[in-house]
Amino acid sequence: MTSKFLVANLIILFAFFFRSFSGFGGALLSIPLLAILFPLKFIIPVESLLEVGLSAMLLPSVIRRVDRSSIPLLVGGSFIGCTVGVYFLNALTNDQLKAPLGIVIILLALILLQKKEKILTRSKGLGLPVGILGGLLGGLFGTSGPAYIAYLSSRGLKKEVFRATLILIFTFENLWRLTLYVWDGLLTRNELEFAISLTPILIVATYLGHLSQLQINEKTFRRIIVILLLCSGIFQIF
């Protein structure tokens, strides 16, 4: 086992532990950390494969709790945004992508520092532009979650409905994103094999995160994550 592969397993363990624990954050944590070791054009499709695998494990147990009224506009917008994002991912070089990724990660870390979630709006009309923004960030950087989280938080959903809706949106978006990656030649046998090799640790992380939902101080855990995001974002820029 190479040192890179060992570190990649540790990153996936931590990132998807938090993803299972909180309902989001797998890509947000894993991509900037993995991008230190691997090219973005390699690791973003790999992470998308892992997200689909995770969704396949979680979706059956939450599908009945989904807020169906949020799905059409968010998913439709995400398809549009993803298409544009994947185009630029394919067109730009790794060096051109790293600095913008670093800026996005730092901004998201600063947002997570907020003590209270701000209500954006209760208008369903924002679903389409939010979906486009999330899809764009997802297709380009693999980090679509914060856009959807901000919007769904404004809907006043119950925690279990909020989490279930996120899982379904991620499922649709990642399947579309993977289709585009295959079409553009960004997802090949190498990415597929690497994702498969990380699947065991993904399963372990998901199981541990589920067990720990009521046993960890989320406030302290979030602070640790913010520090990691800030450091990894700065590293991408410099």
pLDDT higher than 90, residue 8: yes
Q: What is the pTM of this model?
A: 0.82
- What are the Cα distances from residue 119, in Å, to 6, 47, 150, 169, 191? 41, 30, 8, 20, 38
Instruction: Read off the pLDDT of residues 204-236 as tens digits, 9 standing for 90 and up.
Output: 988 887 776 555 565 666 676 677 777 777 877
Residue with more model confidence, 174 or 27? 174
Q: Compute the CA torsion angle 132, 134, 137, 143 (nearest 10 deg).
A: -170
Residue 231 corresponds to which tokens in the numbers above?
């450091």
Which residues, 6+ apart, have CB-to-CB distance to 73 below 8 Å? 124, 127, 128, 131
Q: State residue 200's pLDDT score.
A: 93
Residue 38 corresponds to which tokens in the numbers above?
């691997």
Q: Which of 46-55, 76-85, 206-215, 227-236 tops mean pLDDT?
A: 76-85
Q: Give the count of beta carbons closer than 10 Å to the beta carbon of residue 159.
A: 9
> What phi, psi does 114 have (nearest 5°)?
-60, 135
Residue with more model confidence, 213 or 133? 133
Q: State residue 16's pLDDT score.
A: 85
**Domain boundaries along the sequence of the chain:** 3-237
Give the mean pLDDT of 41-46: 93
* Angle, CA of 142, 57 and 40, to the nearest 5°: 20
pLDDT higher than 90, residue 80: yes
pLDDT higher than 80, residue 50: yes
- What are the Cα distances from residue 236, in Å, to 58, 105, 143, 233? 32, 9, 15, 5
Residue with tokens 């790794």: 94
> What phi, psi does 212 have (nearest 5°)?
-95, 5
Give the mean pLDDT of 66-87: 92
